[in-house]
């Protein structure tokens, strides 16, 4: 390791979100009430641009917090605001939170965004943007996707889709273009300037049946067309497929992750591209580890890929609330530090770490 910091939360968290000033937001997912939502200040050594030797303070600090009376399965910071948006069972509605000013340490609920016909619907997946105004993209199924203005709760866009497949992820590509991914691995592009155009789903090429999928969208190569962005899809069986948003029906490369066993529920599957490194992505949700891969050498064979680094810190911790080994529930890359990642596990452990990779592009 180049560096490793650990923090023990009072309850397990299934999500991590970077907020303004490189703060970190986390939230609990217990089925009972009183799930914490916390904003943490990372260790000082992670807030400087360059390594400056030993830091006397090596722990996270809790800046402010609040409580949710429902499990928090998704949390997103709304850029250029002090607002957070969360979602979770028992329905697909959203909760909006205010991160309080400097004279207060409370994160308080300020409003809710209901959705039509959400009874019995899965919890909503969410993405946020502030290109024109603070917007939230949300939905639980392909035919329930919409954009809502966060502060006024005005509906901006509703997708025209006949497909009712469950959503596993969604993303803003820019202020006009959306990318959606179903639990079966189908991708859909949508343009909010053409709200009546029906969404067409492109399936995963040569994908095994019966597996659940998640999606991660990366940044395009430096100097490339802004519309050229890589998409990685990860299945509960450990299959990875890479595509480009310009041709979502074609596979650029595929590989098999080195995972101990396929994930049965796919509840915590996560794949993400490094924002400050080209061709690197991270995978978690199968066990107590996070795998980092360099995809440059991948082809269409689908053979097993060799990770360039495996973070095993959570696996050597204690047991989770069920008495079993810890499972990584979420990970995310630091927005500026190329090799730095933050990961959380079902035992309440929160790690921020980076690694030393002699040679190679990563």
Q: Which two tokens stand for residue 158?
A: 């509703």
Beta bridge partners of 135: 129, 149
pLDDT computed for residue 163 by the predictor: 83
Residues near 209 by beta carbon (within 8 Å), at least 6 away in sequence: none
Instruction: Determine contact, residues 215/182, Cβ cutoff 8 Å.
Output: no
Reading the block at residue 344, the tokens are 């959380």
Contact 168, 212 (CB under 8 A): yes
Q: How far is 3 from 229, CA to CA, in rounded Å? A: 30
- 3-state class (DSSP) for residue 143: helix
- DSSP output for 216-232: EE-PPPTTS-TT--EEE
Per-residue pLDDT at 54:
44
Cα separation, 29 vs 74, in Å, equals 9
Residues in the chain: 362
Cβ atoms of 185 and 204 within 8 Å: the answer is: yes
Domain 1-8+205-361 has CATH 3.40.50.300: no
User: Taking Cα atoms as reference points, which of 35, 10, 59, 4 lies closest to residue 349?
Assistant: 10
> Could you tell me which residues come within 8 angstroms of residue 299 by beta carbon, excluding any fewer than 6 positions away?
253
Q: Please, are residues 294 and 306 in contact by the beta-carbon 8 Å criterion?
A: no
- Listed by start position, the domains of the chain span 1-8+205-361
* Per-residue pLDDT at 222: 67
pLDDT at 203: 84
Q: Which residues contact 116 (CB under 8 A, 6 or more apart)?
A: none
* Segment-wise mean pLDDT, segments of 10 residues, the chain, 362 residues: 86 88 91 86 70 57 93 95 94 93 87 79 93 93 94 94 90 95 93 88 77 92 72 94 92 88 73 94 94 93 93 82 83 94 93 80 54
């Amino acid at each position: 390791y180049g560096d490793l910091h650990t923090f023990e939360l009072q309850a397990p968290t299934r999500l991590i979100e970077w907020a303004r000033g490189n703060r970190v937001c986390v939230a609990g997912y217990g089925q009972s009430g009183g799930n914490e939502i916390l904003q943490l200040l990372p260790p000082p050594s992670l807030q400087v641009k360059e390594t400056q030797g030993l830091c006397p303070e090596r722990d996270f600090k809790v800046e402010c917090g609040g409580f949710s009376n429902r499990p928090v399965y998704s949390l997103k910071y709304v850029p250029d605001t002090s607002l957070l948006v969360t979602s979770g069972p028992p329905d697909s509605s959203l909760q909006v939170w205010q991160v309080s000013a400097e004279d207060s340490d409370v994160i308080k609920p300020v409003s809710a965004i209901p959705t039509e016909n959400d009874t019995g619907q899965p919890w909503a997946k969410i993405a946020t943007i502030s290109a024109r105004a603070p917007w939230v993209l949300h939905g639980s199924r392909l035919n329930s996707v919409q954009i809502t203005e966060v502060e006024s709760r005005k509906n901006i866009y509703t997708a025209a889709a006949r497909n009712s497949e469950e959503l596993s992820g969604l993303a803003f590509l820019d202020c006009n273009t959306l990318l959606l991914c179903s639990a079966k691995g189908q991708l859909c592009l949508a343009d909010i300037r053409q709200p009546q155009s029906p969404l067409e789903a492109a399936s995963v090429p040569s994908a095994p049946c019966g597996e659940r999928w998640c999606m991660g969208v990366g940044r395009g190569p430096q100097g490339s067309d802004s519309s050229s962005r890589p998409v990685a899809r990860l299945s509960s069986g450990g299959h990875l497929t890479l595509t480009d948003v310009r041709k979502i029906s074609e596979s650029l490369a595929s590989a098999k992750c080195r995972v101990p066993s396929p994930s049965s529920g796919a509840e915590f599957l996560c794949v993400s591209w490094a924002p400050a490194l080209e061709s690197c992505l991270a995978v978690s949700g199968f066990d107590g580890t996070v795998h980092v891969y360099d995809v440059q050498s991948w082809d269409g064979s689908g053979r097993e890929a060799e990770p360039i680094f495996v973070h095993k810190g959570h696996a050597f911790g204690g047991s989770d609330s069920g008495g079993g080994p810890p499972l990584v529930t979420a990970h995310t890359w630091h927005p500026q530090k190329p090799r730095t990642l933050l990961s959380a596990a079902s035992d309440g452990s929160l790690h921020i770490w980076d690694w030393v990779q002699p040679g190679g592009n990563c």
